[in-house]
């Protein structure tokens, strides 16, 4: 076991080393400091029905413009949605509700420190197509039963 000297010079060296270590760990910008926050912006908006009313519970899909990093959120009771803390860049987004999809909004620019607003509109509901008609068939008549 090494012997620790108690001479004044040895004590002074230990105190100096401790002071340097303490200063380095508490000084801003050194290894012990937290990294600076990444600059970010937010994207907010509203999902509207074809009639112009906010759509509650719509699923909103957001992705980086190159198609990567998809995120989803849901609109609130008035149709509003929010994607906070996004990196600066271009994003694509669309909404889905009641079996309808909005068009894609492409290259929506989000800037650091800013809020970008978007309106997504759902299309009119499509009328269900009538079943195909067979020429000469009477849809009001039941088809004949097969005989045993």
- Spatial distance between the Cα atoms of 128 and 49, rounded to a whole number of angstroms: 18
| pLDDT category of residue 137 using cuts at 50, 70 and 90 | very low
Is pLDDT of 117 > 70?
yes
| pLDDT category of residue 139 using cuts at 50, 70 and 90 | very low
CB 80 within 8 A of CB 73: no
| pLDDT category of residue 38 using cuts at 50, 70 and 90 | confident
Average pLDDT, the chain: 80
- Spatial distance between the Cα atoms of 46 and 134, rounded to a whole number of angstroms: 45
What per-residue confidence (pLDDT) applies to 8? 72
User: How many whole angstroms from its chain centre is CA 29?
Assistant: 31
Domains of the chain and CATH, by start: 41-121 (2.60.40.10)
- Spatial distance between the Cα atoms of 14 and 21, rounded to a whole number of angstroms: 11
Q: How many CB atoms lie within 10 A of CB 141?
A: 7
For strand 115-121 and strand 41-48, is the pairing parallel, antiparallel, or unpaired? Answer: parallel
- pTM score over 0.75: no
Question: pLDDT by residue (tens digit) across 66-82?
Answer: 999 999 999 999 999 99
């Amino acid at each position: 076991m090494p012997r620790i000297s108690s001479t004044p010079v040895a004590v002074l060296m230990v105190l100096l080393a401790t002071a340097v270590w303490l200063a380095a760990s508490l000084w801003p910008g050194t290894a012990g400091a937290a990294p600076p926050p990444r600059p970010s912006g937010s994207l907010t908006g509203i999902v509207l029905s074809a009639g112009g009313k906010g759509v509650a519970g719509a699923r909103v899909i957001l992705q980086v413009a190159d198609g990567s990093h998809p995120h989803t959120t849901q609109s609130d009771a008035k149709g509003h949605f929010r994607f906070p803390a996004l990196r600066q860049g271009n994003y694509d987004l669309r909404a889905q509700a009641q079996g309808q999809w909005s068009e894609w909004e492409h290259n929506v620019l989000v800037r650091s420190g800013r809020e970008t607003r978007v309106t997504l509109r759902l299309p009119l509901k499509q009328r269900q197509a009538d079943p195909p008609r067979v020429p000469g068939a009477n849809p009001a008549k039941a088809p004949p039963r097969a005989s045993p």
